[in-house]
Amino acid sequence: MRPRYAAALVARREIVERIRDRSLLISTAVTLAILAAILLIPPLIGIGGTKTYKVAVAGPQAKQLARAAQRDAKAFDAKIEIVRVADERAVRKAVDAEKADAGLSGDARAIVVRKKLDDKLGNALQEGSRQLRLQAQPPPPLPVHTLLASDNSDDLQTITFVAVLLLYFQLVGYGYWLASGIVEEKASRIVEVLLATIRARELLAGKIVGIGIVGFMQLLVIGVGATALGVATDQVNLTGDTARAVGVVLAWFVLGYAFYACLFAVAGALVPRQEDIQNTTTPLSIVLFGSFMLSFAAIDDPGGGRATALTFIPPTAPMIAPVRLIAGEMPVEQIVVSVAVLLAGTAALVAIAARMYSNAVLRTGTRVKLLEAWRSAQS
Tens-digit pLDDT profile for residues 253-309: 999 999 999 889 888 888 877 888 888 889 999 999 999 999 988 888 888 889 999
Superfamily of structural domain 51-146: Periplasmic binding protein-like II (3.40.190.10)
- The type of residue at 332 is V
Question: Considering only 18-32, 143-157, 220-234, 354-368, which range has the smallest mean pLDDT?
Answer: 143-157
Q: How many helices (H) and strands (E) does the chain have?
A: 14, 5
Give CA–CA dist 254/312, Å, rounded: 17
Distances (CA, A) of 252 to 70, 241, 301, 323: 46, 16, 20, 11
Residue 327 predicted with pLDDT over 80: yes
Q: Quick check: 310 and 320 in contact, CB under 8 A? A: yes
Query: Which residues does residue 129 pair with via DSSP β-bridges, in sequence order?
Result: none
For the entire predicted model, the pTM comes to 0.66
Give CA–CA dist 347/332, Å, rounded: 22
Residue 97 predicted with pLDDT over 70: yes
CB proximity list for 343: less than 8 A, separation 6 or greater: 255
Separation of CA 37 from chain center: 17
CB proximity list for 165: less than 8 A, separation 6 or greater: none
- The type of residue at 198 is I
Give CA–CA dist 338/153, Å, rounded: 24
Average pLDDT over residues 189-205: 80
Q: Quick check: 132 and 65 in contact, CB under 8 A? A: yes
Chain mean pLDDT for the chain: 82
Instruction: Find, among 202, 191, 204, the residue nearest to 1 by Cα.
Output: 202
Q: Quick check: 81 and 55 in contact, CB under 8 A? A: yes
HSE on the CB side for 228, CA within 13 Å?
7
Instruction: Find, among 55, 69, 60, the residue nearest to 124 by Cα.
Output: 69
Instruction: Give the pLDDT band (50/70/90) at residue 379.
Output: very low
Per-residue pLDDT reduced to its tens digit, 118-164: 888 888 888 888 887 765 555 567 776 666 544 445 556 677 788 88
Distances (CA, A) of 150 to 51, 53, 153, 215: 21, 19, 8, 36
Own/partner contacts of 374-379, CB < 8 Å, gap of 24 or more, are 377/352
Per-residue pLDDT reduced to its tens digit, 232-246: 766 666 666 677 788
What are the boundaries of each domain within the chain?
A: 3-41+153-378, 51-146
- The type of residue at 325 is L
CB proximity list for 8: less than 8 A, separation 6 or greater: 206
Cβ neighbours of 332 (radius 10 Å): 7
Per-residue pLDDT reduced to its tens digit, 41-51: 665 555 555 67
3-class SS at 57?
Answer: strand
The single-letter DSSP state of residue 148 is S
Instruction: Find, among 274, 252, 211, 258, the residue nearest to 353 by Cα.
Output: 258
pLDDT, residue 150, reads: 47
* Length of the chain counted residue by residue: 379
Cβ neighbours of 262 (radius 10 Å): 26
